[in-house]
Homo-oligomer: A and B are copies of this chain.
Amino acid sequence: MSKPSPKLELFASFAAVAKASAHPNRLDLLEHIAQGERSVDALAAVSGLSIANASQHLLQMRRGGLVISRRDGKRVLYRLSSERVLDLLAALRGIAEGNVAEAQQTIAAYFTSRDSMEPLATADLARALKSKSIVLLDVRPEGEYAMGHIRDAVNIPLKDLERKIKSLPRQKEIVAYCRGPYCVLSFEAVAALRKRGFSARRLEGGLPECAAAGLPIASGG
Contact = CB atoms under 8 A, between A and B. Distances in A.
B100 A94 contact: no
Contacts of A92: 14, 17-18, 88
Contact of A15 (B23, B91, B99, B110): B23
Interface residues of A, number: 53
A95 B91 contact: no
Given A7-B184, A92-B18, A87 B84 contact: no
A192 to B, nearest CB: 17
- Assembly of this chain: how many copies? 2
Interface in A2-37: 5-19, 21-24, 26-28
Interface of A: 5-19, 21-24, 26-28, 64-66, 68, 81-82, 84-85, 87-96, 98-100, 102-103, 106-107, 109-111, 182-184
